[in-house]
Chain A
Amino acid sequence: MTNGWVDIKNTDMMLIMGGNPAENHPCGFKWVIEAKRNRDAKIVVVDPRFTRTASVADQFLQIRAGSDIAFLGGLINYALANNRFNHEYLVNYTNAAFIVKEGFKLPEDGLYSGYDATARTYDKSTWNYEEVGAGAHASDTHSHAVQSSPVPPPTLPPNVAYDLSLQHPRCVFQLLKQQYSRYTPEMVERITGIPRERAIKAWETFTSIRQNGDMKKAGTIIYAVGWTQHSSGTQTIRTAAMIQLLLGNVGRAGGGVNALRGHSNIQGATDMAGIFDILPGYLKMPVPADTDLKTYLTRTTPKASKPKEWDSFNYWSNTPAFTVSLLKALYGDAATKENDFAFNWLPKIDRKYSWAEIWDDMYNGKVKAMMAFGMNGVMIGPNAKKNIEALKKADFLVVCEIYPDETSEFWRAPGTTPEEMAKINTTVYRLPGAGFAEKDGTFVNSARWLQWKWAAVPPPGDCRLDQEILARIFLKIRGKYQQEGGKLPDPILKASWNYTNPNNPSLAEVAKELNGKALADVTDPKTNTTIKADQQLPGFAFLRDDGSTMSGNWLYCGSWTEAGAMIQRRDPADPSGLGIHANWAWSWPMNRRVMYNRASCDLNGKPWDPDRKQIWWSEAKQKWAGNDVPDFKPDSDPKSHMGPFIMNPEGVGRLFVPIGAVADGPFPEHYEPTESLIANPLHPSQSNNPIAKRFKSDMDKYGTPDQGYNIICTTYRLTEHYHYWTKNNPMNVQLVPEPFVEIPAELADQMGLRGGEKVKVTSARADYIAKAMVTKRIKPMMVDGKKTYQIGIPIHWGYRGIAEDAGKTAKTPANYLSPAAIDPNAYTPEFKGFLVKLERV
């Protein structure tokens, strides 16, 4: 979330799409209701089903799963055509005025310029800004790219050409107009199945906050994995961000683009780089070409790219300080200036190791072992049967869990015969971990708040704390390398593990390490404050690239300072009434509660809405002041025209994303889901996302309508259950005892099906059996002239659980059905909107 949970109460308008917060985030949803109750805010809900969220919405639109970009593109088109944007914000805070390189082509035929059909990749060199006075130089970079191997990624020009009148035919604004002029109400109706008059009404409503560019009101967009879990997931979210930039809603109280993360600490897990492609604090993973630290830092540290007259903070220019501080934290004294701070000990990656790819690798015999700590990989899928088959080929599996789960029992998944079982040679260790109440530590919520929790009870039985289990395994391995030697033992032997109890590290000690401390005296030249060696750092401004500081995650620097654990603060005061709660816990970055809040003020530093003052430029103090912590250079006079989006080298928000930061195009384009009933009405010849990845194993099959897969199926959670966890909780099992399939009443009538009867859902990959819930909440829709039905399946049941063990279910996990097709940016599988057949059992 750019903003926060409580901040939603400040909004005047909500578009809730690709998410069902009433169902999945009920306690956060209260702030939606507060806005409705106290500000007369409107709620527009767009979803394939009439959800619990829809039940309290002002408008509900039933959309075909996987067609979100079309609806949002239509919204952009509507806003542009009806003057529903703010010119000042658009020109100064976004790259609308930037001029794009010659040779860039919009995807009228479904492809941007630079597509390589054989490699299924784009050459992104034309996806860039025009450099001032360039033109002739344009070909240089290109020829350069052809000659050298591997291709160095294109870089942004330092001095960007721009046109503040927004009239230049290649300025971002004109290209944006051109791109989305194709998303007419008629086209949107064909693609999404939403009748045009209803779509127009929704667009009118949402953009009504920016009538004639008036900036008083703010609107928010709230989404969740209903957008992410598509083969164009990232681009869908991009479209939302563009709408918010266009409408001037980013950075403002009650505005923003708000991802509602689905779990208690996956925001933290992302920050902490529990994923293959980053290092803690969103630092990039090294690639083989990064032969030394300098090369890596040159590649990953962006340079400001902006109109000459403007200023850009370009915060990522501090990448070297962040990186070196991280290496000091990881390897301690073994990381020295001389050995490049042990940079080369880090693995270097040259391909993707994302979730679905790991399973594919295991299925293909490349990955031989897995350690799963609280991650039920079989249930999560996609194409879960393939995951089961993959595990059968593994050498060993370590599962740390608190309940018996499907992954640890893959070897006795339903349908496995004793003979087959005898042939499964995987050794499975199932280690009893500790539940949340037995552990302390920090969770990061969707609003980026780091909150410490305290342990209430000791782990039961012979359960151990997770960190103890992990530490003991690691230290045992380290001991073996110490005794026996082996391949590259140094990083293992020298990884910093200086905890008071190495076998069971105190999480408070780890939290302090995450914040980081000075290793030598460090002085901030501006304020002349000195942090003495061994003192906790007060913030990431003190991080250094010379090895005199260490920090496990620069984003968390400031979370546990000499003043104490900021993450344990419990002062609920909120003097501004804006829901900032600045002294409750701590949020990254540097306790800023609304990101990019510089954009809440006009060019002169005055809040757009005087009733919702977040920050402002204090002429007297020559500083930015406010109720929130300014997410900005604190002393940057508005006259210097520094862009509010300090994490972008441009300093402004990106309507157009240059140089392939988003792999499938600078502007989002609607592509059909991997499995779709229709050819893309925009460009039937290029129906799907050209660079979305599909897998090629014999278990990866993709269905088509010709094969009889004629119903769209989507998967989701219920408010009564939580993934694959509450099926062990008798209370939640009582609330919703059995799996079911939600089926439109019209379809059920056609099939002669009554609620409670069993149905079989079949995808190209597997079957799923459950009882039918016949409902009026899903209606048939007309998609590109065809009558289309959608059904829905909650994901919560597998083959171990209270209902499962009692024999009340068919023991078919929902993700048996879903395809392994992944988004090219976030590598998230397409769990929503695939094709199935439906039959009575």
Chain B
Amino acid sequence: MDLSRRSFLKTGVVGTVGISALGFDLQPLQAQTATLKIARTTQTRSTCPYCSVSCGIIIHTIGDGAKNVTPAVVHVEGDPDHPINRGTLCPKGSSLLQDIVNDRRLLKPQVRRPGSDHWEDIAWDQAIEEIATKTKLLRDATFVEKDANGKTVNRFDTLAFAGGCTDTNEFNYLVVKSMRAMGVTCLENQARV
């Protein structure tokens, strides 16, 4: 598919330089507009991740979903069917393409060791292993089973979990399930502030 912008086909208006030296060219005149860049893209319905209006968006990706294609986002536009935004988007929603395709994205796990002044790369398995070890150590060292009055409290209140504003319900539920299972009390979210 030709995605180049403003690639004009010229029926009559242009070209044929010598022939139209005197300018009179009686072919019917139709000027070609640019190719519709989303004419052949694959569309995915999503929800804008910014404010709480929940604008429906359509993410256009290259390719038709075939096995051998890694879909890349080429355009994001409002979903005209969505009852709230009816296709409209604000300046943030309109620029979501640059949020999805952004060269500032973090692409690999990193660790900053104590006292260090730089990031080091770390393998996923290693990072998970270290985090789990540290978490368990901390929990076992500070877990409160009973309070001063002898009441069962089962609290792990030395580790805090801060949830983000764009975490989905399902993810948040997994957070509640896993963190409360460990006894985490310092559970907060962007929702608070």
Is B188 a contact of A264 with CB atoms below 8 Å? no
Q: Which of B92-119 contact A (CB under 8 A)?
A: 92-96, 98-100, 102, 104-117, 119
Q: Which of A266-298 contact B (CB under 8 A)?
A: 266-276, 279-280, 288-289, 291
- List the B side residues contacting A263 at CB < 8 Å: 50-52, 165-166, 190-191
In the assembly, what is the distance between CA of A682 and CA of B152, in Å? Answer: 46
Is B152 a contact of A368 with CB atoms below 8 Å? no
Q: Taking CB as reference atom, which chain B residue is nearest A150?
A: B149
A729-B155 contact, Cβ under 8 Å, with A330-B180, A445-B52:
no
A510-B187 contact, Cβ under 8 Å, with A445-B54, A456-B59:
no
Is A442 a contact of B170 with CB atoms below 8 Å? yes
Is A802's beta carbon under 8 Å from chain B? Answer: yes
Is A713's beta carbon under 8 Å from chain B? Answer: no
- List the A side residues contacting B35 at CB < 8 Å: none
Is B105 a contact of A572 with CB atoms below 8 Å? no
Is B83 a contact of A348 with CB atoms below 8 Å? no
- List the A side residues contacting B106 at CB < 8 Å: 401-404, 430, 432-433, 463
In the assembly, what is the distance between CA of A764 and CA of B112, in Å? Answer: 32
Is A466 a contact of B167 with CB atoms below 8 Å? yes
Q: Taking CB as reference atom, which chain A residue is nearest B56?
A: A451
- List the B side residues contacting A372 at CB < 8 Å: 161-162, 164
Q: Which of B49-106 contact A (CB under 8 A)?
A: 49-56, 59, 61, 70-73, 81-86, 88-96, 98-100, 102, 104-106
Is A27 a contact of B162 with CB atoms below 8 Å? no
- List the B side residues contacting A377 at CB < 8 Å: 162
- List the B side residues contacting A438 at CB < 8 Å: 100
Is A495 a contact of B177 with CB atoms below 8 Å? yes
Is B180 a contact of A507 with CB atoms below 8 Å? no
Q: Taking CB as reference atom, which chain A residue is nearest B96?
A: A437
Cross-chain contact of B180 among A346, A455, A570 (Cβ < 8 A): A346
Is B189's beta carbon under 8 Å from chain A? Answer: yes
Q: Which of A355-373 contact B (CB under 8 A)?
A: 355, 358, 361-362, 366-373
Is A432 a contact of B109 with CB atoms below 8 Å? yes
Is B168 a contact of A507 with CB atoms below 8 Å? yes
Is B73 a contact of A429 with CB atoms below 8 Å? no
Q: Which of A797-819 contact B (CB under 8 A)?
A: 802
Is B133's beta carbon under 8 Å from chain A? Answer: yes
- List the A side residues contacting B46 at CB < 8 Å: 436-437, 453-454, 456
The segment from B4-12, B15-23, B123-131 found at the interface with A is B123-131
Is A275 a contact of B108 with CB atoms below 8 Å? no
Is B135's beta carbon under 8 Å from chain A? Answer: yes
A719-B54 contact, Cβ under 8 Å, with A421-B117, A729-B102:
no
Is A474 a contact of B90 with CB atoms below 8 Å? no
Q: Which of B132-165 contact A (CB under 8 A)?
A: 132-136, 138-140, 142-143, 145, 147, 149, 151-165
Q: Which of B48, B70, B91, B147 has the most CB of A within 10 A?
A: B91
In the assembly, what is the distance between CA of A353 and CA of B188, in Å? Answer: 8
In the assembly, what is the distance between CA of A354 and CA of B189, in Å? Answer: 9
Q: Closest CB of chain B to A366's CB: distance in Å?
A: 7
- List the A side residues contacting B13 at CB < 8 Å: none
The segment from A55-63, A160-168, A730-738 found at the interface with B is A730-738
Is B169 a contact of A272 with CB atoms below 8 Å? yes
Cross-chain contact of B186 among A358, A436, A579 (Cβ < 8 A): A358
- List the A side residues contacting B56 at CB < 8 Å: 451
- List the B side residues contacting A439 at CB < 8 Å: 168
- List the B side residues contacting A154 at CB < 8 Å: none
Is B98 a contact of A731 with CB atoms below 8 Å? yes
Is B44's beta carbon under 8 Å from chain A? Answer: yes
- List the B side residues contacting A353 at CB < 8 Å: 157, 185-188
Cross-chain contact of A367 among B50, B71, B158 (Cβ < 8 A): B158
A461-B107 contact, Cβ under 8 Å, with A370-B162, A491-B181:
yes
In the assembly, what is the distance between CA of A449 and CA of B55, in Å? Answer: 11
Cross-chain contact of B162 among A268, A345, A373 (Cβ < 8 A): A373
- List the A side residues contacting B154 at CB < 8 Å: 344-348, 488, 491
Interface size of B in residues (CB-CB distance below 8 Å): 115
Is B115 a contact of A425 with CB atoms below 8 Å? yes
Cross-chain contact of A423 among B53, B115, B136 (Cβ < 8 A): B115
Q: Which of B59, B170, B190 has the most CB of A within 10 A?
A: B170
A435-B100 contact, Cβ under 8 Å, with A366-B158, A461-B108:
yes
Is B59 a contact of A27 with CB atoms below 8 Å? no
The segment from A212-220, A317-325, A475-483 found at the interface with B is A475-483
- List the B side residues contacting A553 at CB < 8 Å: 169, 173
- List the A side residues contacting B96 at CB < 8 Å: 437
The segment from A114-122, A305-313, A683-691, A720-728 found at the interface with B is A720-728
Is B26's beta carbon under 8 Å from chain A? Answer: no
Cross-chain contact of B52 among A229, A262, A481, A829 (Cβ < 8 A): A262
Is A268 a contact of B168 with CB atoms below 8 Å? yes
Q: Per-residue 0/1 for A416-443: is the Cβ within 8 Å of any B Cβ (1 yes, 0 no)?
A: 0010011111111111110111111111
- List the A side residues contacting B93 at CB < 8 Å: 27
Cross-chain contact of B53 among A27, A274, A366, A403 (Cβ < 8 A): A27
Q: Taking CB as reference atom, which chain A residue is nearest B182?
A: A492
Is A595's beta carbon under 8 Å from chain B? Answer: no
Interface size for chain A: under 10, 10 to 19, 20 to 34, or 35 or more residues? 35 or more
A375-B189 contact, Cβ under 8 Å, with A436-B46, A492-B182:
yes
A265-B167 contact, Cβ under 8 Å, with A272-B176, A368-B138, A461-B108:
yes
Cross-chain contact of B177 among A330, A451, A735 (Cβ < 8 A): A330
In the assembly, what is the distance between CA of A426 and CA of B104, in Å? Answer: 24
Is A454 a contact of B44 with CB atoms below 8 Å? yes
Q: Per-residue 0/1 for A811-841: is the Cβ within 8 Å of any B Cβ (1 yes, 0 no)?
A: 0000000000000001111010000000000
- List the A side residues contacting B53 at CB < 8 Å: 5, 25, 27-28, 445-446
Q: Which of B86, B93, B155, B191 has the most CB of A within 10 A?
A: B191
- List the A side residues contacting B33 at CB < 8 Å: none
Is B159 a contact of A443 with CB atoms below 8 Å? no
Q: Taking CB as reference atom, which chain B residue is nearest A436?
A: B49
- List the A side residues contacting B180 at CB < 8 Å: 279, 330, 346-347, 491
Q: Taking CB as reference atom, which chain B residue is nearest A432?
A: B106
Is B190 a contact of A449 with CB atoms below 8 Å? no
A411-B112 contact, Cβ under 8 Å, with A275-B187, A370-B159:
yes
A481-B136 contact, Cβ under 8 Å, with A27-B88, A289-B151, A422-B117:
yes
- List the B side residues contacting A511 at CB < 8 Å: 169-170
- List the B side residues contacting A510 at CB < 8 Å: 170, 173-174
Is A275 a contact of B158 with CB atoms below 8 Å? no
Q: Closest CB of chain A to B31's CB: distance in Å?
A: 30
Is A136's beta carbon under 8 Å from chain B? Answer: no
Q: Taking CB as reference atom, which chain B residue is nearest A416?
A: B117
A443-B168 contact, Cβ under 8 Å, with A288-B149, A457-B61:
yes
In the assembly, what is the distance between CA of A368 and CA of B129, in Å? Answer: 18
Is B99 a contact of A435 with CB atoms below 8 Å? yes
Is B83 a contact of A349 with CB atoms below 8 Å? no
Is A347 a contact of B192 with CB atoms below 8 Å? no
Is B122's beta carbon under 8 Å from chain A? Answer: yes
In the assembly, what is the distance between CA of A572 and CA of B86, in Å? Answer: 10
Is B102 a contact of A27 with CB atoms below 8 Å? no
- List the B side residues contacting A380 at CB < 8 Å: 190, 193
Is B88 a contact of A572 with CB atoms below 8 Å? no
Q: Closest CB of chain A to B41's CB: distance in Å?
A: 11
Q: Closest CB of chain A to B134's CB: distance in Å?
A: 5
Q: Taking CB as reference atom, which chain B residue is nearest A366?
A: B158
Pairs of residues from A and B, 7 with the lowest C-beta to C-beta distance, nearest first = A374-B164, A441-B168, A461-B107, A263-B165, A445-B54, A274-B189, A476-B132
Q: A460-B105, A488-B154 are in contact. List 20 more A-B contacts (CB 8 A).
A: A260-B51, A264-B165, A265-B167, A272-B173, A330-B181, A367-B160, A371-B159, A375-B164, A423-B115, A429-B122, A446-B54, A453-B45, A457-B59, A471-B178, A477-B182, A481-B136, A487-B145, A488-B145, A729-B102, A831-B193
Show 25 A/B contacts (Cβ-Cβ < 8 Å), sorted by A.
A27-B88, A265-B166, A265-B169, A265-B172, A279-B180, A280-B176, A347-B185, A348-B153, A353-B157, A355-B193, A358-B162, A368-B138, A370-B159, A370-B161, A380-B190, A396-B134, A421-B116, A424-B114, A456-B59, A456-B71, A462-B124, A488-B154, A513-B173, A572-B81, A726-B99
